[in-house]
A = this chain, B = another copy of it.
């Protein structure tokens, strides 16, 4: 718990009083004032987060954390459990969606075993931070112990801190774990207080019958475990997942280092709820990449006060939406740092009207 408490203490409140000054700088660039809309807002947010006048986002890193879920044994996913490990092999061989998108935007992908149900047969290129061999089935009791929940978050912190030594200017969060929309829906329902039905979607693509069963299982898990919505560690331990805890740790550690955090889809959003409950200040370091089709995602973003950048009906996870949003974020910063001013370019300014 020491590592977690220490990192939380290091998260500074963002000084929004500087916002007008950055907008003035944007207004001096050769374009009608405000004409780059959302890009200008992003650039401002990144200057505020980094506390650098001219941030560069050369070092783009996507953390894709993997873990298994005991609840998968109940058939909540359209895919078998072994897919978690199989996809990790795919990540390290570079054939998954996140690999393609990360290469496209020039980002590194850090793949982490937070709690895959098996030992990996080969793990070159995987950071091993395994807490346990998958969570326990949460309809029968807590998904993990309280100690495991803390260690999951702290392992996420360590993963970020270790990578930070190689340079990290912006972070994308990603996940892999068969069954993890189920855990995420449970977390989202408990923390936002919204009904399970409103927070539960089809994940990898289950049919309506399986969706009804998934909802009933989540209700049962909440009923059996009675997580305390005001205690994020309690929620994570009772209905969460190792990769979700790890992502919350990555987020807290990134905020402590003033690194912008690009939140991917629904699982990352659930992790951001855990991080937010541990330290609300972390929210201002977050950029929502996109609104996925997973039911409940929009509600979680509203709860956090985040506006999604993209709306492409994505539901892959892995950090795929974050990758696309990161390249937009980088573009926004380049607008601020590379565009000519009216004065430099000798362009006439707006007429007085």
Contact = CB atoms under 8 A, between A and B. Distances in A.
Contacts of A310: 310
A305 interface: no
Contacts of A97: 29-31, 36, 335, 339
Contacts of A345: 86, 89-90, 93, 95-96
Contact of A327 (B205, B293, B327, B351): B327
Given A315-B37, A316-B36, A351 B78 contact: yes
B100 A31 contact: no
A96 B334 CA distance: 11
Contact of A79 (B315, B331, B351): B351
Nearest to A309: B312
A347 interface: yes
Contacts of A210: 353
A353 B75 CA distance: 10
Interface string A299-336: 00000000001111111100010011001101100110
A33 interface: yes
Nearest to A315: B35
Given A204-B32, A351-B78, A37 B313 contact: yes
A250 interface: no
Given A35-B204, A80-B348, A90-B345, 10 more contacts: A30-B90, A32-B78, A32-B315, A35-B205, A36-B316, A38-B314, A86-B345, A96-B339, A100-B334, A324-B331
B37 A314 contact: yes
Nearest to A82: B348
Closest 5 CB pairs of A and B: A95-B340, A37-B313, A38-B312, A32-B204, A35-B316
Interface size classification for chain A = 35 or more
A167 interface: no
Nearest to A317: B35
5 contacts: A30-B87, A31-B97, A32-B315, A79-B351, A210-B353
Contacts of A338: 95, 100, 103
Given A100-B335, A347-B90, A313 B38 contact: yes
A100 to B, nearest CB: 5
Contacts of A209: 353
Contacts of A309: 312
Interface in A265-320: 293, 309-316, 320
A31 B86 CA distance: 12
A350 interface: yes
Given A90-B340, A324-B328, A340-B93, A335 B101 contact: yes
Interface string A98-119: 0011011100000000000000
Contacts of A311: 38, 311
Interface in A231-250: none
Given A86-B345, A86-B347, A31 B316 contact: yes
A30, A83, A97, A104 — which one has the most chain B CB atoms within 10 A of its CB?
Answer: A97
Contacts of A347: 83, 86-87, 90
A349 B205 CA distance: 12
Contacts of A162: none
A42 to B, nearest CB: 9
Interface string A47-78: 00000000000000000000000000000001
